[in-house]
Structure 1
Amino acid sequence: MKGIICSVFLTVAINGAICAQTSKPLSAPFGVNLAGADFGANVPGVFNKDYTYPTGADLDYVKSKGLTLIRLPFLWERMQPVLGESLDAKEVERFTEVIDAAAERGILVLPDMHNYCRRKVEGEWLIIGSERVPVEQVANAWAKIADLLKDKKNIWGYGIMNEPHDMPAENSWFTIAQAIITSIRSKDSKTAIVVGGDSWSSAERWPYYSGNLKNLNDPANNLIFEAHIYFDENSSGSYKYSYEKERATAETGIVRAMPFVKWLKANNLKGFIGEYGVPDNDPRWLVTLDKMLDYLQKNGVNGTYWAAGPWWGDYHLAVQPKNGIDRPQMKVVSRYPSAK
């Protein structure tokens, strides 16, 4: 899809732009996850010890590859340390600094609450909707975040929750998502809301676990549904074994994407693949990645690769350059700036 020119702001964005009048995405840009703010077993933890945020250099690298979208994971506990209270001023400063730096570079941002439908309370991860973490509290947090970001013109959408899973009832995630949508719309009536799926947002399992999400109500009619795809045998993205032992083929990504894409088309809905990634240790993984991205592009579904960011080190899925040298996966990722 060609870049769309607006009268304000991102008029020269390479492949994606939004108009200030609507705040709706007018294209389907591909990009990467810039992770780091979601890091650390110690939650909330200490900034630049347990977790960090991407830098201007990280954004420059993304832009240099012709990519114009970043998914920006963050943790609820750090953004709002006390349930129901104000957002943390210092964390907001770090968070919005990245968003503003991205805007200066013509890069769109998808803020992603990377909490798996849980919150850490006194050292214990509790499911949202439980007695100590009621649904109203995550809705409250998102109202505050939307109020903070609603006037920023490079917000591609609000990623309301990363990979909900193992919920106590079939409609648990639906109920939570609807509460968040309603709360966001009380502050921002226009910006897209990006809704992940149940069962780790699996694209392959989407119709069974997340098919009910088509019934969510958004007054703005601006929902984007987010699925995830990995190519190892258990779809976890851990890639513990060789290409052969993971039973991968060149078509694995297409096969796993198809149930989600068909569901989108059957229900006339917009979709996005928020995570996918492959190891750097076998070129056959690159073929599988390339074929899936080609399939997504042809079907108008964009996505963000997992992952880049300053603290990945030798992580075998990372596309963060090492010693100034591109990782092999980036050759494939950069060939797909936007969906058609």
Structure 2
Amino acid sequence: MLKALFGLNVVDSLAVYSQCIPSTAASTTVASTTTTTVRSTSTTTTTVRSISSTTISTISTSIGATTTVASTSTAAGSTGTCAPNSPAPGSGTLKFTGVNIAGFDFGCNSDGSCTPGAAFPPLTQYFALGADGAGQMMHFVNDDGYNTFRLPVAWQFFTNYVLGAPIDADNMVKYDALVQACLATGAFCIIDMHNYARWETGIIGQGGPTNDQFAATWGEIAAMYKDNPKIIFGIMNEPHDVPDINLWAASVQAAVTAIRKAGQVLGNALKKVVNLDGSTTNLIFDVHKYLDFDNSGTNPECTTNNINEAWAPLAQWLRCNGRQAFNTETGGGYQTASCMTFMCQQIAFQAQNSDVFLGYVGWAAGNFFTGYVLSELPAENGTTWTDTPLVAKCMAPKAGAQKGSTGQ
């Protein structure tokens, strides 16, 4: 059976994941609003994310089975009605904890445009002056206890910047090297298509790329990884400002169908797109939430732990509706005291409510420069790696933030 995510209107940015898990697992679902976010994706490129209030993206992962993901855009969902006796909070342990390993997404913007040649593979064999992404991931697993990595990549990179072309073999060898380095750590690996429901400003299925073109790329990717239970397919990062939600649902379904034909068992997060039996069992929400004053992830100071305004209402909504969520982008100033305080509190709250929150993935390591405001890059000195203060104190599972006080 599959899990997929929706988002609530108390959260600023959501992506939806679908996870292949044992049929005995509990079901889940949600819907959200979003705000504009601006983050630098490299030393030379700035990404401006204008996320509309009707954004959701879908992903599918597999635990001991095959996996899949899709992206969707939908209106904010009903808050539902809650029974007087809501389920008790979770065990205090989050299932997924990890870091984004950025680089293959560099040179791309929130309008779906990408500059050819601007992707910087976070692997020393392909970019000698860049970060050792493989070494970072091994450190994060062995020294910090992480178990998940999100690997952002542009759709354009897959097809060598030619819309409708098959996956470029040479480019895929480079990206697959990062995937294999991730798998070698034993972690879960999210293949995240980082295109905002677009290709060069054109919206998928709505005057831009056709659904068939979108589905064809995902069908090829699925065929390559369909048998690996550690792969998570992130069909689309942060779709936004999509004019026709129903048409976007059709685009999502096209991608899901292509992956199914490649041998996947799928679930989908749009209310219109359901499991093969028509149910919404195991559909999960993925939430992107930052801690600075405008939720942009561009400021060194953090102003909130997001608990009262976002996580607590979302936890209640999830319980009332029998759903779960996964926070795959969050971060703060890497050496700022305010961010350490609020991030520790945010993670502790999520862990205390692990019946509805599956985990978090920090933004970001990979090929960012060490001075990047949200850097989670560990410093390398020979065989020794040293984490940023924020990772060391709060985000690394071995730091113990999951068990800490929320400090509300």
TM-score (norm 1): 0.76
Distance in 2, matches of 1:317 and 1:179, equals 35
AA at the equivalent of 2:230? N
The 3-state SS of whatever aligns with 1:87 is coil
Deviates more, 1:53-62 or 1:273-282: 53-62
The 3-state SS of whatever aligns with 1:303 is strand
Partner of 2:116: 45
- In the alignment, does 2:228 pair up with 1:174? no
CA contact (8 A) 2:256 2:266 kept: no
- In the alignment, does 2:196 pair up with 1:102? no
| Shift of residue 298, structure 1, vs aligned partner | 2.4
Residue 310 to residue 192, structure 1, CA distance change in 2 (3 Å): farther
AA at the equivalent of 1:43? C
Correspondence for 1:226 among 286, 302, 319: 286
Distance in 1, matches of 2:308 and 2:236, equals 24
AA at the equivalent of 1:306? W
Distance in 2, matches of 1:171 and 1:339, equals 39
Residue 278 to residue 40, structure 1, CA distance change in 2 (3 Å): same
| Shift of residue 17, structure 1, vs aligned partner | 9.2
| Shift of residue 236, structure 1, vs aligned partner | 1.6
| Shift of residue 44, structure 1, vs aligned partner | 5.0
CA-atom RMSD, angstroms?
3.0
Query: More strand per residue: 1 or 2?
Result: 2
Partner of 1:280: 334
Distance in 1, matches of 2:402 and 2:167, equals 35
Partner of 1:56: 134
CA contact (8 A) 1:214 1:267 kept: no
Residue 89 to residue 97, structure 1, CA distance change in 2 (3 Å): same
Distance in 2, matches of 1:172 and 1:253, equals 34
Partner of 2:63: 18
Correspondence for 1:135 among 211, 219, 224: 211
- Where in structure 2 are there 5+ consecutive unaligned residues? 1-60, 69-93, 124-132, 404-408
Q: Which has the higher contact order (CA 8 A, sep 6+)?
A: 2
Partner of 2:27: none
- In the alignment, does 2:292 pair up with 1:264? no
Q: What are the equivalent positions in structure 2 for 1:321-336 lying under 5 Å apart?
A: 321-322=378-379, 324-331=385-392, 332-335=394-397
Correspondence for 2:229 among 143, 147, 153: 153
| Shift of residue 192, structure 1, vs aligned partner | 7.1
- In the alignment, does 2:386 pair up with 1:307? no
| Shift of residue 34, structure 1, vs aligned partner | 0.7
Residue 230 to residue 130, structure 1, CA distance change in 2 (3 Å): same
Taking every aligned residue pair, what percent have the same amino acid on both sides? 30
Count of residues in Structure 1 that have an aligned counterpart in Structure 2: 292
CA contact (8 A) 2:103 2:119 kept: no
AA at the equivalent of 1:52? P
CA contact (8 A) 2:146 2:396 kept: yes
TM-score (norm 2): 0.64
CA contact (8 A) 2:266 2:276 kept: no
